[in-house]
Amino acid sequence: MRGVKGCAALTARILAGLVAAALVVVLPVTLLARNLALVLFEPQALAQAVSEQLIESGLLRETVIGSLLGDAGGVNGMSLGSAMQYLTPDEREATIGELVPEGWVKDQIVQVTTDLFAWFDSPSTRLLLTVDTAPVAASLKGTAAAGVVEAVVESWPACTLEDVGEMIGIGATPGDQGFPYCEPPEPLRGVVVSALTGALGVLGQTLPARVAIVDQEFEDTDKLLETKEQVRMLQFVARWGFLVALGLLGVITLLVVRSWKGLTRWWGIPLLLGGLLAFLPVLLGGRLLHLFVERMAAGFSGLPALMELAQALAAAIGAAALRPQAWQAAVVTAIGLALLLLSLLGRRSSGATATYASEAPARALPTSAASGGPEEAPDRPSGMFG
């Protein structure tokens, strides 16, 4: 019977060791997956994490300006991109900032991310992401447009006599074929500024209420639906995968933990090692995140704007997800270390008690027993106790 119990105990210890090794690997992976999911799959959290990055990079503003005033847009073929070619990067950024308010950018980021997640949850095969252009239209029709035109015209090189002749010949209308983007002398300069300001005002009046920044119809419906299903499954697993780690702790407890001392030992070591491994994503930086985002966006390689957006977001998402990862890794490591120290202190205390017991002197025997003679019976009580 003792042999059967010993074999069962040994088997339980081996299984618990394997489960503990699995916990060391699973714990950091599930922590990272959950932290990423709480950013990537929440529109508000994602918008909050990436808004600063997109505002600083100017990616969304550049996309909107390119859609509104590119070579194919504008009035009479006017291209703001061509007109702004002589601006320095800082001047260009300031000029775009006059037309596209910063608060508007934040609002559109929230709207775009919300629409993107709604599309993932729908059976639609057309991805349409739009922005509200009302604030931009107001800027084009207001005083901001006049300031932008002045800054743009001042950046142009001075016109030669030949350039002035060409302007006069084509009516000094920016956007006409052959228009030389150069700063003419007065009064022709005033005519050019007025024409360019008027063109922006007309564009503001004719601007649609919403402008698409991504408009793509996916022909392979089956592949798209499969990709959406994979993303939804990834979202679920990433959110709740950490419960697997808690379940592994429960399995270890059922297999071998029978006392507080056993719990400190069997929980302490895997938690300590798992917490230390959870620091690896933090130390490696955004490389792992870049691969993760790249893998997610692989199904949409036909959308350059979306791919560029995903690459720009990687750094911001990394900062938002890896900060809590560092704190969680520190907490798990501290808990594991504390349990392990308690286990070691418990062993030392038990060892000291055993040593003291072995060195204690034997209890003195009665004289008669020591001499080998018969032990005398003690006096029996008499009287009322007899």
**What sign does the CA torsion over 276, 280, 283, 285 have?**
negative
Strand, helix or coil for residue 364: coil
Give the least confident one: 20-29, 117-126, 161-170, 366-375.
Answer: 366-375
| pLDDT confidence of residue 65 | 61
Which of 212, 47, 48 is closest to 131 using CA atoms? 212
Residue 42 pLDDT class (50, 70, 90 cuts): confident
Say what the pLDDT of residue 333 is: 92
> Which is more confidently placed, 25 or 77?
25
Q: How far apart are CA 167 and CA 182, in angstroms?
A: 10
Residue 330: the pLDDT is 92
Report whether pLDDT(78) > 90.
Answer: no
The residue length of the chain stands at 386
The structure tokens listed for 214 are 């991504």
Task: Give whole-number Cα distances, 70 to 64, 75, 84, 112, 172, in Å.
Answer: 9, 11, 11, 21, 20
Q: What sign has the CA pseudo-torsion 34, 35, 40, 44?
A: positive
Q: What is the pLDDT of residue 62?
A: 63
Mean pLDDT computed over every residue of the chain: 74
Nearest C-alpha neighbor of 53 from the set 248, 260, 301, 318: 318
Does 233 have pLDDT greater than 90? no
- The 10s digit of each residue's pLDDT in 101-155 is 767 777 877 788 778 878 877 888 888 888 888 888 888 787 777 888 888 888 8
Q: Which of 20-24, 105-109, 125-129, 264-268 comes out lowest in average pLDDT?
A: 105-109
- The CA radius of gyration of the chain, in Å to the nearest whole number, is 38
Of the candidate ranges 10-14, 50-54, 74-78, the one whose mean pLDDT is the lowest: 74-78
φ/ψ of 267, rounded to 5, equals -90, -35
Torsion angle in degrees (nearest 10) through CA of 180, 183, 184, 187: 130
For residue 254, which of 2, 13, 66 has the smallest C-alpha distance?
13
Least confident of 71-75, 196-200, 312-316: 71-75
Residue 216 CA to residue 74 CA, distance in Å, equals: 23
Give the span between the Cα atoms of 379 and 290, in whole angstroms: 93
Spatial separation of the C-alpha atoms in residues 111 and 119, rounded to whole Å: 12
pLDDT above 70 for 81: no
pLDDT for residue 133: 81
DSSP state at residue 297: G
pLDDT for residue 371 is more than 50: no
Q: Is 0.85 topped by the overall pTM? A: no
DSSP E strand boundaries for the chain = 126-132, 210-217
**pLDDT tens-place string over residues 329-369:** 999 999 999 998 988 887 666 555 555 445 545 444 454 44
What distances in angstroms separate CA 298 from CA 142, 301, 302, 307, one per listed residue?
A: 42, 5, 9, 8
Q: What is the pLDDT of residue 50?
A: 67
**Which residue from 81, 137, 131, 77 is spatially nearest to 106, judged by alpha carbons?**
131
Q: Which residues pair with 211 in a beta bridge?
A: 131
